[in-house]
Amino acid sequence: MTYVERVLADLKANNPNEPEFHQAATEILTTLAPVIEKHPEYEKAGLLERFVEPERVIMFRVPWVDDSGAVRVNKGYRVQFNSALGPYKGGLRFHPSVNLSIIKFLGLEQILKNSLTGLPIGGGKGGANFDPKGKSDGEIMRFCQSFMTELYRHIGQDTDVPAGDIGVGGREIGYLFGQYKKIRDEHVGVLTGRGLSYGGSLARTEATGYGLVYITEEALKVRGDSFKGKTVVISGSGNVAIYACQKVQQLGGNVVAMYDSNGYIYDPNGINLDVVRDIKEVRRARIKEYADIVKGSSYTDGCSGIWSLKCDIALPCATQNEIDKFSAETLVKNGVKYVSEGANMPCNLEAIDVFQKAGVVFLPAKAANAGGVAVSALEMAQSSQRVFWTFEEVDSKLKGIMVNIYHASEDSAKEYGYDGNYVMGANIAGFKKVADAMMAQGIV
Ligand code: NDP
Ligand code: 2IT
């Protein structure tokens, strides 16, 4: 058994019933094998055993009172995975599916993603199995206050800096920040994705979606191509999906489909993003309404059918494991040329294999969606200096970071003889820096 195989087997045995964590760890560790083989000192230092074990896992009760006066209790989590490069950094997810396995897979991914940005941030992730759907503003506020009443003692601007993820957007960050400030009596950059009036950065809202499109644009550019005239399918209709759609449209691509967790809309004339934003951002309603409003469009119940639509570029931007082997094969049969992951781990391991064998340019999440956390780190920099940069400044830094990530991933893959394999390239490029920092800091 090799070192990598042993660590992976132990991880599965020691963390049973955590399928998403196993999946992310399998992808990462197997692709790191060539690096590990070159560095026998890593095994001596127990580097991989330490890398896959979170530095700290916090689990807590989140009690709150709903509008009818009933007491509700949810499970809260914060996994502080790795602080070798900087303070723990990563989002909070509020969704009924949240459990320890999901937070650990997200935290592990976050370490390498954050490393790829080139900025000084470690990896963490958190959340709760709370379902924000159908809750009043008052319920959301009380939940966020209760969540922060425990979390505040574990975080800080130089310790751990959470942000948004699924179900946590500007509204939730505002309530979380307000409660942190009240308890700690300090107005600091302890959360990112803050509103512009209280310390947030311009372009953070757009950053993940725009960054996804910038890195994909770079992949097109080096192949002498562009978004112009391309048919694009985007899954999801939340923060990442909406701003990916906006940027694709600005670059001349035709986005023909999007979905929410109930079903998908198809609009061959090109998605009218104003209508989507009004439904999803303003009214927090269902995307189904789009088909009643926009002539020539249709709605279909269920999500996976979206991958049977013919497209040149697929941008999965909703959640993990949206694309399985069958959906990947269908996309390939229909001529997809580029797949970039806006969501975290939206393609399962079999799907990635299908894309890579078919010669599809596949950009993995930790490279492709790093724009969000990158601009979060820029927000931290602005907070520390007590200054604000312009939208153009932040956007151009974001673009530079995404282009760098593309080339770092490409170059690392090439260096190890896996040209064009961006999964290997991103994992290796991200890991090397974390490994260096961990080796330098001793057995901690
Ligand atoms: P949002 O909550 O804004 O939007 C999530 C979207 O995905 C919604 O359209 C939602 O549908 C849909 N969705 C969620 N869960 C499911 C599911 N189980 N099945 C089908 N659809 C689902 O989240 P974000 O846009 O912020 O996040 C989307 C993805 O991007 C996540 O994987 C997240 O981890 C990742 N990401 C986010 C970053 C950020 O900065 N926000 C940064 C990097 C990655 P519905 O409206 O019905 O709930
Ligand atoms: O998955 C992610 O990178 C995020 N949800 C963003 C994290 C952050 O700290 O901005």
Position 276 scores a pLDDT of 98
**Residue pair 297/263 in contact by the 8 Å Cβ criterion:** no
Position 411 scores a pLDDT of 98
pLDDT digits (tens, 9 = 90+) for 156-176: 999 999 999 999 999 999 999
Secondary structure (DSSP) of 160-227: EEEE-BTTB-HHHHHHHHHHHHHHH---SSSSSS--GGGTPPTTHHHHHHHHHHHHHHHHHHTTT--S
pLDDT band of 378, cuts 50, 70, 90: very high
**Does ligand 1 have an atom closer than 6 angstroms to the CB of 162?**
no
Q: Which of 133, 165, 363 to mutate to test the pocket of ligand 1 (most atoms within 8 A of CB)?
A: 165
Position 324 scores a pLDDT of 98
Position 52 scores a pLDDT of 98
pLDDT band of 129, cuts 50, 70, 90: very high
**pLDDT above 70 coverage of the chain, percent:** 100
Say what angle helices 325-333 and 349-357 make with each other, to 10 degrees.
20
**pLDDT above 90 coverage of the chain, percent:** 100
Residue with tokens 């309404």: 289
Closest CA to 149 of 175, 167, 129: 175
Position 199 scores a pLDDT of 98
Cβ neighbours, 10 Å, residue 403: 15
pLDDT digits (tens, 9 = 90+) for 180-211: 999 999 999 999 999 999 999 999 999 999 99
Position 296 scores a pLDDT of 98
44 is catalytic: no
Position 430 scores a pLDDT of 98
Position 15 scores a pLDDT of 98
Alpha-carbon span 332 to 372, nearest angstrom:
28
pLDDT digits (tens, 9 = 90+) for 37-61: 999 999 999 999 999 999 999 999 9
pLDDT digits (tens, 9 = 90+) for 272-317: 999 999 999 999 999 999 999 999 999 999 999 999 999 999 999 9
Catalytic residue among 125, 230, 280, 366: 125
Residue with tokens 């094969």: 329
192 CA to centre of ligand 2 in angstroms: 9
**Residue pair 102/22 in contact by the 8 Å Cβ criterion:** no
Alpha-carbon span 376 to 383, nearest angstrom:
10
Position 158 scores a pLDDT of 98
